[in-house]
Amino acid sequence: MIPVTKPYLPNREKLDRYLDGIYERQWLTNNGQLVQELTRRLEEYLEVDNLLLVANGTLALQIAYRALGVSDSRSDQYPEAITTPFSFIATASSLKWDGVEPVFADIDSKTWCLNPENIEMAITHNTRAIVPVHVFGNACDVEAIDAIARKHTLKVIYDGSHAFGVKYKGGSLLEHGDAATLSFHATKLFHTGEGGAIVFKRKEDLERAKKMINFGITGPETIEELGINAKMNELQAAMGLCVLDEMEENLRARANVWQEYESALAQSLQFQAKHQALGYNYAYFPVLFENEEQTRRVLSVLKENGVLARRYFYPSLESVASLGVHPPQPVSGSISRRILCLPIFADLQKAEVQAISQYILETLER
């Protein structure tokens, strides 16, 4: 069976050396040596400042909302944030969980990212933030979104869960917004088993968030913030350091897989339109079919042949009952019914990519 993705497992001997150090120090959490080292190395690798490691990507979003005041309670206002319906559930559920009502604005039909033209129409006196997603590592229209945020005095928190290492106009895509969050889940391009990070624009927001991830505790007898336990531990950091050491090898292998798919399928399927100034990370390979029936048929044929593709992102989030009642988002609804992500990981073989592509092409011809 070929999975849609699988964790990249780094050199075991190197990981064992990190684990030996953990055993020697007997320091497992609370900003240990490896967490500090991983923070420094990720800031260098990603070319960002003010990076904070956390326990997972969902907590990264929630801490960002808190640190930036998006979810602060006010007697005269029920907080809202404008976000995309075409994303993993955590983008919207993290808002709802934190007492912020998600307000959906539809996506662009080509880039699949939040369409800036739809954002201003959704702004109300309750709106506090915009939460766009760099979908599949593709850059949102950051200039337009940031301009809207400045005009209406709104915070911008980019969900960059897919955007690890992505370059935009020569710099890091993660530099945009008041904060950008990352997921280091096991299936991500870069991972720590579980984990995540926040990149803040301002140092003072980072310092507030540091307090929040450790219950608000700032000293043996001092609690300065309303906090939670969102710390990354040393075991997670050890995995991350090993994966980071092998990142270039991982990227090259994934790029080869991506390019093999592109060569085989570009004439038959619609791909995501990426920004011309984007330095992509080959984290996903999504394809768009003509209709849902065709999508389901291809999904079934692939499964019959031992290939697990996945419908990222289905259903469109405005239709999820636990998120409340929202108006339909036609573009997101249409794309979510017609999209599949094909298997992509470093050791997927060329012959396997060719076979998967052939199953798809043969199904389309029927």
Which candidate, 212, 170, 193, 164, places its Cα nearest to that of 52? Answer: 212
Q: Residue 260 belongs to what domain range?
A: 246-365
| 284 contacts: CB under 8 Å, gap ≥ 6 | 136, 137, 162, 312, 341, 344
Residue 323 CA from chain centroid, whole number: 19
Q: Is residue 64 part of a domain?
A: yes
* DSSP secondary structure of 296-347: HHHHHHHHHTTB--B-TT-S-GGG-GGG------HHHHHHHHHEEEPP--TT
Instruction: Yes or no: say if 352 and 321 are a contact pair by the CB < 8 Å rule.
Output: no
Within a domain: 94: yes
pTM here is 0.96
Question: Is there a single domain that holds both residue 256 and residue 352?
Answer: yes
Residues 200 and 285 in one domain: no
Residues 28 and 174 in one domain: yes
Domain boundary among 244, 261, 296: 244
DSSP string covering 210-245? HHHTBTTEEETTEE-S---B-PPPHHHHHHHHHHHH
Distance (Å, rounded) from C-alpha 140 to C-alpha 117? Answer: 12
216 and 250 share a domain? Answer: no
| CA–CA dist 272, 117 (Å, integer) | 19
Beta bridge partners of 307: 2
**CATH of residue 85:** 3.40.640.10
Q: Write the CATH number for 311.
A: 3.90.1150.10
Does 346 lie in the same domain as 215?
Answer: no
**Domain count for the chain:** 2
260 and 237 in a single domain? The answer is: no
**Structural domain includes residue 7:** no
Q: What is the pLDDT along the chain (366 residues), one digit of tens a residue?
A: 999 999 999 999 999 999 999 999 999 999 999 999 999 999 999 999 999 999 999 999 999 999 999 988 776 678 999 999 999 999 999 999 999 999 999 999 999 999 999 999 999 999 999 999 999 999 999 999 999 999 999 999 999 999 999 999 999 999 999 999 999 999 999 999 999 999 999 999 999 999 999 999 988 889 998 999 999 999 999 999 999 999 999 999 999 999 999 999 999 999 999 988 899 999 999 999 999 999 999 999 999 999 999 999 999 999 999 999 999 999 999 999 999 999 999 999 999 999 999 999 999 998
Is there a single domain that holds both residue 220 and residue 261? no
Residue entry with tokens 């500090």? 36
Q: Are strands 339-341 and 286-288 parallel, antiparallel or unpaired?
A: antiparallel
Q: How far apart are CA 152 and CA 1, in angstroms?
A: 50
- The answer to whether residue 4 sits within a structural domain is no
**How far apart (Å, rounded) are the C-alpha atoms in residues 50 and 202?**
7
Residues 128 and 164 in one domain: yes
- Last residue of some domain: 244, 278, 305? 244
Does 212 lie in the same domain as 301? no
